[in-house]
Amino acid sequence: MIKGSCACGAVRVEIDGTPQVLSYCHCSRCRKTAGAAAAFLIGKGSDVRVTAGQDAIKSFSPEGAVYGRFFCGECGSALGDLGLKEGSYAITASILDEDPGLRPAGHIFTGSKPDWYEICDGLDQYEGDFPSQS
Ligand SMILES: [Zn+2]
Ligand SMILES: [Zn+2]
């Protein structure tokens, strides 16, 4: 089980099971809501439990985006998608309080990456999403 929380501590989540992938997303929606090269942990939506602060959670759904954007209404911490859509969660790895155990699989949506951000690791890069996903 992996625990996560927002900056002010109002929102707390627990993730059961084994996450499927950890990756960096460079799309403009992630950049604006979660920061440049936002790292997301992705897995089965039913594995996520909100253990505190359900009332503090606000959401925003960018047009055309697969994942919704949840954030703490108290401190503004980006939480990612807690798994209410598409049966998957995509939680911002920045809110994790523990090591999720896996390492980044690559960079996706590099076609939307700002020029000032240079990828300096040797991980795979994809213009769009991972080839194995839709
Ligand atoms: Zn908060
Ligand atoms: Zn993205």
Q: pTM of the full predicted structure?
A: 0.91
Note the ligand closest to the C-alpha atom of 74.
1
> In this predicted structure, what is the pLDDT of residue 85?
59
Note the ligand closest to the C-alpha atom of 78.
1
Give me ligand 2 centre to Cα 109, in Å.
Answer: 7
Give me ligand 1 centre to Cα 5, in Å.
Answer: 8
Give me ligand 2 centre to Cα 50, in Å.
Answer: 23
Asked, for residue 63, whether it belongs to a domain, the answer is yes
Q: Count the domains in the chain.
A: 1
Asked, for residue 133, whether it belongs to a domain, the answer is no
Asked, for residue 134, whether it belongs to a domain, the answer is no
Average pLDDT, the chain: 93
Asked, for residue 44, whether it belongs to a domain, the answer is yes
Residue 92 has pLDDT above 70, yes or no: yes
* DSSP assignment of 13-26: EEE-S---EEEEE-
Note the ligand closest to the C-alpha atom of 112.
2
Asked, for residue 130, whether it belongs to a domain, the answer is no
pLDDT band at 67 (very low <50, low <70, confident <90, very high): confident
Asked, for residue 113, whether it belongs to a domain, the answer is yes
Note the ligand closest to the C-alpha atom of 79.
1
pLDDT band at 86 (very low <50, low <70, confident <90, very high): low
Residue 28 has pLDDT above 80, yes or no: yes
In which domain, by residue range, is 106 found?
A: 2-125
We report the CATH number of the domain holding residue 10 as: 2.170.150.70
Nearest to 54 by CA among 97, 10, 94: 10
Average pLDDT score over residue span 20-38: 95
Give me ligand 2 centre to Cα 29, in Å.
Answer: 6
Asked, for residue 96, whether it belongs to a domain, the answer is yes
Nearest to 128 by CA among 100, 112, 109, 113: 109
Asked, for residue 48, whether it belongs to a domain, the answer is yes
Average pLDDT score over residue span 16-33: 95
